[in-house]
Amino acid sequence: MLKEAESPYRTIRVSAEPSGFGAEIVGPDLARPLSKDQLAEVKAAWARHAVVAFPDQPLTLDELEAFTLQIGAFGHDPFIAPMPGHPNVLELRREPDEKATNFGAGWHSDWSFQEQPPAATLLRSEVVPPVGGDTLFCDCARAYEALSEVMKTMLAPLRAVHSATRAYGVKGVFARETEKRSLQIIVSPEADKSLTHPLVRTHPVTGRKALFISPVYTTGIAGMTEKESQAILGFLFQHMIQEPFIYRHKWREKMLLMWDNRCTMHFAEGGYDGHLRLMHRTTVAGDRPA
């Protein structure tokens, strides 16, 4: 059950989950430029709650793009063809008769394999199926804070290896896919490249530390053997998706959701075969994890 946030806001109303992870924001009309004060409060609420929903926002694609730019510059979305005429918008469409696995069905932080992964992802619902389709979020900051001091000390100097190879590589999941899907996936050798980021990153706004790894895009730990890496990562992945750290988002039509990739990972549930689901997505550029 949502509750009104304790911190007062003058231009918006914020109702937060009991844990503080996840909130709904009412008041702003995202189809129009926000005032300086209102934008500052939206960003403050986003920083505090990491995942924020704006209900009843019947935005055009141009308006979605305009609001995204109020949050920050567009991020780069690789391996998926954008919408014609809207190079920064991805249309996540799944037709009623599609048999392919729903897109995003694996825990991940968007594009963490980039040198500067996106700070934010914005996803707006156009058609919501009557069943299924929830999006689950993990609070990677609280998951980190729940670890023992000994574990935190061990993790502090480690760098995680990130790559898109498992999903978009030439031998990845989408390269082996046989079912047709509406979303145009671009399999590429570029996806087989890898880089490293701190396994624990510090949020540039809040200063909180968070685990910055995911089962989809984290392939190992620099300097460790595969068995050593998987032992540590396997423990952390199971730890992170415990119920106390999870927020389950239930969609309504014309809702915009914005989440912070720097301190969360997410998972898109299916369960809506036989129904159309249509969403539009943008990303906001981020900085190099530190």
DSSP labels for 36-84?
HHHHHHHHHHHHHHSEEEE-S----HHHHHHHHHHH-SBPP--SB--BT
pLDDT at 194 over 80: yes
Q: List the strands of the sheet with 159-163, edge to edge.
A: 194-198, 159-163, 218-221
Query: How do residues 242-252 score in pLDDT, each as one tens digit?
Result: 999 999 999 99
246-286 per-position pLDDT tens digit: 999 999 999 999 999 999 999 999 999 999 999 999 999 99
Measured CA distances, 282 to 62, 74, 109, 184, 270 (Å): 11, 7, 14, 16, 21
Confidence of residue 7 (pLDDT cuts 50, 70, 90): low
**Cβ-Cβ contacts under 8 Å for 207 (sequence gap 6 or more):** none
DSSP structural state of residue 14: E
Catalytic machinery residues: 108, 110, 266, 281
pLDDT at position 1: 44
Which pLDDT value is given to residue 5? 46
Buried b (16+ CB within 10 A) or exposed e, 137-172: bbbbbbbbeebeeeeeeebeebbbbbbbbbbbbeeb
Q: Measuring CA to CA, which residue among 100, 192, 196 is closest to residue 157?
A: 196
Share of residues in the chain with pLDDT > 90 (%) = 97
Reply yes or no on domain 3-284 having CATH 1.10.357.10: no
How confident is the model over 146-175, as pLDDT tens digits?
A: 999 999 999 999 999 999 999 999 999 999
Q: Label residue 50 left, alpha or beta by phi (over 0 means left) and psi (-120 to 50 means alpha).
A: left
Cα 124 to Cα 71, 149, 163, 252: the distances in Å are 15, 39, 27, 10
Amino acid 22: pLDDT:
98
Q: What is the pLDDT of residues 18-72, one digit of tens each?
A: 999 999 999 999 999 999 999 999 999 999 999 999 999 999 999 999 999 999 9
| Digit-coded pLDDT (tens) for 199-210 | 999 999 999 999
| Eight-state DSSP code of residue 193 | -
Query: How far is residue 101's CA from residue 160's CA, in Å, rounded to a whole number?
Result: 27
Domain boundaries, the chain: 3-284
